Structure formats: structure tokens, C-alpha cells
Amino acid sequence: MLPSRYFLDLTQPEIAGQLLVQAFTAVWAAGCASGIDGFAFLTGQTPGKMLFGLRVEGEDGEALHLSQAFLRSVGGLLALSCLGIGFVPVLGKGRRLGWNDLLAGTRLVSAKEETAAGD
């Protein structure tokens, strides 16, 4: 039998409260991430991208796959976790792809040009 020091003492309010906050935060973050991924997958846009007339698509110009939407979110988290360095290439010239786009094989395009071409 293991000594009790290897187990959490949930009778202490501080430990129980910390675990509750951590569990809530994890569930909330997963819900937000899946909502954003799903929204981007279904429409190619998030509400912010709609506001600015932008859309995400695959490098081949095809609609976003669910795996690409997920990888783009993971790449965005990686880019942010490195103090935003992963988004610096977006400010330059050339392809202007951040780590999130490179990881997922996506690109950001103007949605306005697409609707004008489709008319």
C-alpha cells in the first residue's frame, strides 16, 4: 500500500479548489478551440475573419479540411507560446505564412475577391 503522501488530500479546500479551477479551464479551452476549429472548417472563416473579409483555404485553393483547421489552431498556439515569433513572417514579403499556416498547409485569402470572381 502506498503512503498517503502520494495521493491528493481532497478534504483540503485549497487543493480541491485548484483542481476544480484547472478542470474548468481545461474544459473551457477545449470547448473554445473545438468551436473555433469547427467554425473555420464549416465556413473557412471565423467571425473576426468575416469582419475583415478574409477566408482560410488549403494551399491548393480547396476548402479547409477538419484536420487542417485543427492543425492551424495548434500552430497558432505554438506561435503564441514562443512570444508571437511564429507570426512574424506574416509581416514580411513573399508568401506571408505564419507557423500555423505552414503546419496546416493553409493560406489566408481575401473573401471579397472570391465573391467578385464568382459573380
**42-75: per-residue pLDDT in tens?**
888 888 888 999 999 999 999 988 889 888 888 8
Tell me which residue range forms the domain holding 79.
Answer: 12-118
Residue 7 included in any domain:
no
Residue 2 included in any domain:
no
Chain-wide mean pLDDT for the chain? 82
Residues 6+ apart with CB under 8 A from 91: none
Q: CA–CA separation, 68 vs 66, rounded Å? A: 5
Residue 67 included in any domain:
yes
Residue 4 included in any domain:
no
What's the pLDDT score for residue 100? 92
Residue 34 included in any domain:
yes
Residue 38 included in any domain:
yes
Element (DSSP H or E) covering residue 110: strand 106-110
DSSP 63: P
Residue 5 included in any domain:
no
As for how many domains the chain has, the answer is 1
- Is the per-residue pLDDT at 7 higher than 70? no
